[in-house]
Structure 1
Amino acid sequence: MAAVTKLGSEFQVNTTAAGAQDNPAIAALANGGFVIAWESPDASSDGIFAQRYDANGGLDGIEMQINTTTTSQQTMPTIVGLSDGRFAVTWQSTQGTAFWQVITKIFAADGNVTTDELRLDAVANNITNTSPRAAALANGYYAVAFSPIDPSQTGIGVTIVKNDGTIDQSQTFANTFTTSYQRAPAIATLEDGGFVVIWESYNQEAHSSGSYGVFGQRFDNTWSPVGDEFQVNLKESDDQTNADVIGLANGGFLVMWESVHVEDSPGASRGVVGRLYHQYGTSISAEININTTEYGAQDHVRATALPDGGFLVTWESFNQDGSGAGVFGQRFDANGAKLGGEFQVNTTSFSTQSDPEVAVLANGGFVITWESWGQDGDQIGVFAQRYKAQLFGTTDDDTISDDIGANWIDGRSGNDDIHGNGGADVIRAGGGNDRVYGGAKNDIITGGTGLDSLDGEGGNDVIKGQGGADEIDGGAGRDDLDGGKGDDVLKPGAGGDTVRGGGGADNFFFSTSWNKNIVLDYQDGTDKITLSGFNYADKDEALTHFHEIGGVNNNKVGFMDQGTEIIINGADLSDIRKSDIRLDDGLLIM
């Protein structure tokens, strides 16, 4: 299966098509849905609008205007889903003045306003309060980074907003180096409750001058700076700009940015690179080339962390989809290795599709949104594409626990421990000696080339061992078990299962009160039958409970005792001998 799979078709977000609807932003909501915001003409100039969606991707209410004050310009929205189920929208606004202000507003999950507009920047008449980006904190709080004036030119301000829509921590500066310009911040929440802020800074790099580099500062869960600000980019010639940052499931974070002349291919001008960091702020990778196609320019990078520990990166790429710019993406595992190839997001490629944003949803799927020129019938419109939930392991030994509903899970190589939990999952163990637990729903589980232990647990499961000597337990429910190649142990369970041993010398395991189970391919002289818990004195007593079905040479034998019925295809009664019977369960390790 591909590393990403589209769910349905791309769809138009904006209802109002007159004028330009652009600069989209997206956030996942705690109820499983998502909300997309953008800027669009209103009664004065530009306003901020939004559309909510439910967990199935359906419209949840109608298009709504976010800004209360409509005087002059409202632009550059950023949106964040809060831990208490609400969401906050932040934007920059002139509000009838010549100066930019940073404004925020909180909404309930149903779209009702819960707070008034709140100004976040601390300095009045500051023309450079621009480029806000927000990140959710604990207890419904959130942090907003933006670019105000510092002692030199522009710096990176951070304000903490409480869940009641008031300021908890007034504007502080993330940057220590204040010479010249620090601008275009990005911010991400970390697993320890803190956050990290990233920005571009002019003329600060250690071994270069006259260009922009990427810098950052970590903050702990009391929102105090941790250590010194740090340089992210290793390549220092030419500009490194337009950075983004996301927190990862392992507590670390990923920084991505646009790098000029990072690529060696003829015709390439800009590419997208990234760098992984440990939770303590130390780098754990060199610069990673995100995009594979290098012709033209790749920029406006955005990313989201995925539940399997990996991440999804999206960007705009010029001259790649055959008409202007298009939106592309690449999935990575938890070690930063690419999963599959880069993929095109937009289906409609006429003219330009640009400025992508992405959010992972509560079910593990994700949504990418972008602006598209000429597609909605009038100038620029906002479009989006949903993707299925899929979890991937790495090439190491992984523990994957699916706590987000129905998923497609691939352990890949390594000796993995995979838990499907509550969803109806499709689980592929991959290479290595894996242990898989399906959970309560109807799962499809496939082993791999190693010695796997596959347990369907609850639900009506389909389990295939494939290669290797596997142990397969159907658990509760009416299951379909297939050992595949190798010498397998198959334990149907109490639900009335259908069992295939496949190639190899297999052992079919049965216990009392297991209803009616069917063995489809018993191999006389090769396979074994284990009867556990029946308390037979010896194998001779066990043999008395087998009987012919349909007469001699019909190649079908039955067994019945203590609430358990077995139909065995592939043998006559004379083929079932003491050497074919086991009265212990020592083979099972589950």
Structure 2
Amino acid sequence: MAMIPKIKRFAAAMIAVVLSPALAKAQGGFVAQGAEYKVAGTLAGEQVYPHSSIKTTGGYVVWQDNITDGDGYGISGRKMDGSFSGALSTFRVNANGANDQERPQVTMLNDGGAIFIWQSGRQSFQNIYGRVRNASGIWGTGDILINSSTNVYQRDAALTTLSGGNVVVVYSSYNQVAAGSMQDVYAQILTPTGAKSGGEFAVNTTTAFNQRSAAIAPLSDGRFVVVWISEQQRFENSADVYARIYSANGTAATSEFLINSSTNICASPSVAPSADGGFLVTWMQLDLAVSTNSWDIYSRPFSGGANGGVTRRVNSFTYGDQLAPKVSSIASDYQVVWTSMGQDGSDDGIYGQFLKSDGSLSGAEFRVNTSTPGQQMHPTVSSDGVGTFLTVWTGFVGGANAFDLFSQRYVSTNAPLNAPGAPIVTVLSSNTLSVSWPPVQGISISNYEVYADGASAASAVLTNTYWNSTGLAAGSTHSYKLAYVVADGRRSPLSVAVTNTTYLSNWFYDQIAGEWMTANFGNAYWTWPQPGIDSDGDGASNLNEFLAGTNPNDANSVLKVRLQPTPQGLFLDWNTQIGLIYQVQQSTSVNSWSNLGGPRFASGSLDSMYVSGGNATFYRIVRLR
């Protein structure tokens, strides 16, 4: 197996997993729902620096990965359905694979699409790039250069979606103000299509030394607030948290103002909005009085008019380092998560605390991760704005997989279950449709229910994740919805319906659906070319074009598959028809095939998958829908 470059070994330890009850750890009106789960699945290499954005209908998780694009670090993502389980397979975000792509972020758009951002390039020569994915899951753009000044370098980008629909990206830029000015915070407003709205603008007004580590949040009245670390603004060797509020069009609504109330060194700010128009800021702060305590987590609420409330320490366990807090909100409730060194009895662990609207503690501090051996780090938290917080972090698993992503849901004690994602409906024959779906992760499921053609009672009750709907009429159209029942008997709402149509009964040579032949070769069936004929000379027979969903009369429409060696190992590359769903299969003999990973949605015209390390000799791509 080829060596995989740029893997940092953070820890090595034995792994043990203990599952938590279905609902546990009641804290401040929210409870942990089910157990922790691998939202991205088990993947080769190291998945680090995750970020997520969710709505009640689902969302996205994105991360930095050392086996994504064949060259250094790349950005990978996975869509989540309404239960916040992984849906379909992971996908590559960055179109350009040269050099490193790092520190990704994602925000959901108001129409269900998403914008991803990251920093790209060689160290000290990086720029901020973004990419838009529409509500159908299809890429609407290639890689978009977000920063305007390119003779300097940018890093540590963050973004948010405003209530009016635009997106604001903030980042640090080196020496852009003047030679030797160090880092300053800049912002750029984007439309939902990824177009720039106006030019980039400086956020901080004090420019001496570094202004860095920016975070951003939308306010309920349509404005937004940016927070950052400012070095030596108050006195020599100081490091404080500052903020500034902006209108939706990027006009400053306030001057920059101080967040922390002490003179201790601060770092890693995060911010979340409140339903009353205000916001809450969290940061890590160095304890200068008790050296063994080192870093702690602090918070402070502010009104929409920038009036500050009480500053409070968030963490209860104070020994050692509590690092890199992240905060999210539902109405005026907040969840804060951070990394705590040594608290869980192993190495780093993920801890959390709920806060009330005034920033006071709600319940006790709690451990988020269930698995404790090795390092758990890089936590992030997002909310659907209604009743669910989702915490995602990087956890050590050892071996070739090194670090995977883990998730834990926290739900309001009176929140209903979320609906699952829509099933995939695939045509098998003239009288059979296949209905399949990804499993709901992290929750103890009693069974799944499939509802066909608007039925009020379940058409099938199953414990697996697929069902064949048989005995259908040729050429008939049918719709299917999905629900799940948890171990305590509660039933989820139904998913949205998905429809498909069986083939007509006349199959050409028992291999190709007659309607496909008619659509491509006309009604004169006696003139149809045989399945083995390559009508357009593109190297694929008409049968293979039928199976791949390509056009047999267009030489440019053909499924081409190749194995591509890279410094990170072997990748399987293929072109796709946008909007279709494919399945990668592997075999050692071509007589028997097995699925490799899950179904893959074609969000663009190309797809790629890491395949090194297996025993397969042959690979093929099968179109599911």
TM-score normalised by the chain length of structure 2: 0.59
Contact 1:17–1:376 (CA<8 Å) still a contact in 2?
Answer: no
Match of 1:234 among 261, 265, 275: 261
SS in 2 for 1:296: coil
Tell me the secondary structure at the aligned position of residue 197 of structure 2: strand
| Maintained 8 Å contact 2:118/2:130 | yes
Is 1:154 the equivalent of 2:183? yes
Corresponding residue for 1:189?
218
Q: How far did residue 247 of structure 1 move?
A: 1.0
Deviation, 1:286, is: 2.6
Residue 349 of structure 2 is matched in structure 1 by: 326
Post-superposition shift, 1:406? 6.5
Structure 2 equivalent of residue 77 of structure 1: 104
Structure 1 partner of 2:244: 217
CA distance in 2, matches of 1:190, 1:302: 17
Q: Secondary structure at the match of 2:37?
A: strand
Determine the C-alpha separation between the residues in 1 that align with 2:294 and 2:171. Answer: 28
Aligned to 1:504: none
1:134 paired with 2:159, answer yes
Q: What is the rounded CA distance, in whole Å, between the counterparts of 2:135 and 2:336 in structure 1?
A: 27
Report the 3-state secondary structure (helix = DSSP H, G, I; strand = E; otherwise coil) of the residue aligned with 2:296.
strand
Structure 1 unpaired stretches of 5+:
392-403, 408-590
Cα RMSD (Å): 1.9
Check conservation: 1:265, 1:295, Cα contact below 8 A.
no
* CA distance in structure 2 between the aligned counterparts of 1:258 and 1:376, rounded to whole angstroms: 32
Aligned residue for 1:271?
Answer: 296
Equivalent runs, 1:8-27 vs 2, <5 Å: 8-15=34-41, 17-27=43-53
Q: Is the 8 A contact 1:312 1:332 kept in 2?
A: yes
Q: Deviations over 1:334-391 (max 9, x none)?
A: 2222111011000001011011100112541111000112358522221111122247
Deviations 1:542-567 (A, max 9, x none): xxxxxxxxxxxxxxxxxxxxxxxxxx
| Partner residue, 2:324 | 300
**Residues 181-580 of structure 1: matches in 2 within 5 Å?**
181-205=210-234, 208-237=235-264, 239-261=265-287, 267-283=292-308, 285-307=309-331, 309-374=332-397, 378-390=401-413
Take 1:266 and 1:214, find their aligned partners in 2: how far apart are those partners?
22
What one-letter code is carried by the residue in structure 2 that aligns with 1:136?
T
From 43, 50, 60, the equivalent of 1:35 is: 60
State the Cα deviation string for residues 434-470 of structure 1 (Å, max 9, x = none). Answer: xxxxxxxxxxxxxxxxxxxxxxxxxxxxxxxxxxxxx
Q: Aligned partners of 1:157 and 1:224: how far apart in 2?
A: 13
Q: Which runs of 4+ in 1 moved over 4 A?
A: 404-407
Q: Is the 8 A contact 2:62 2:78 kept in 1?
A: yes
Q: Secondary structure at the match of 2:199?
A: strand
Distance of aligned partners of 1:201 and 1:97 in 2 relative to their CA distance in 1, 3 Å threshold: closer
Matches of 2:86 and 2:173 in 1, distance apart?
37
Kindly provide the CA deviation profile for residues 224-251 of structure 1, in whole angstroms up to 9, marking residues without a partner as x: 00121111111113x2111111111111
The answer to which of 340-349 and 48-57 deviates more is: 48-57
- Count of aligned residue pairs for this structure pair: 386
Q: Is 2:299–2:359's contact at 8 Å kept on the other side of the alignment?
A: no
DSSP 3-state at the match of 2:306: coil
The answer to whether the 8 Å contact 2:40/2:86 transfers is: no
Code of the residue aligned with 2:334 in structure 1: it is F
Question: Residue by residue, what CA displacement relative to the aligned partner does 1:250-273 show, whole Å, maximum 9, x if unpaired?
Answer: 1101111110116x6672101000
* Structure 2 residues not aligned, in runs of 5+: 1-25, 419-625
User: What amino acid is aligned across from residue 104 of structure 1 in structure 2?
Assistant: G
Deviation at 1:87, TM superposition (A): 0.9
Partners of 1:227 and 1:18 lie apart in 2 by 47
* Alignment partner of 1:165 is 2:194: yes
- Indicate how the Cα distance of structure 1 residues 12 and 377 shifts in structure 2: closer, same or farther if over 3 A, else same: farther
Give SS of 2:183's match.
coil
| 1:16-54: CA deviation from partner (whole Å, max 9, x where unpaired) | 63221100001013x521211001122111110011111
Q: Describe the SS at the equivalent of 2:221.
A: coil
Which stretch shifts more, 2-11 or 274-283?
2-11
User: Is the 2:282–2:300 contact (alpha carbons within 8 Å) kept by the matching residues of 1?
Assistant: yes
What's the offset of the Cα at 1:97? 8.6
**TM, length-normalised to structure 1:** 0.63
Alpha-carbon separation, structure 2, partners of 1:97 and 1:312: 34
Distance 1:118 1:124, change over 3 A: same
**Contact in 1 for aligned 2:131/2:143 (Cα 8 Å):** yes
The structure number with the bigger radius of gyration is 1
The residue aligned with 1:475 is none
- The question of whether the paired residues in 2 share the 8 Å contact of 1:273 and 1:289 is answered with yes
* Corresponding residue of 1:115: 141
Distance in 1 (CA, whole Å) between partners of 2:124 and 2:112 is: 35
Change (3 A) 1:240 1:2: closer
For 2:269 and 2:192, the matched residues in 1 are separated by 28
1:92–1:100 contact (8 Å) kept in structure 2: yes
Summarize deviations over 1:60-79 as a string: whole Å, max 9, x none.
22101100000110000011
Q: Secondary structure of the equivalent of 1:342?
A: strand
Structure 2 CA distance for aligned equivalents of residues 198 and 376 of structure 1: 39
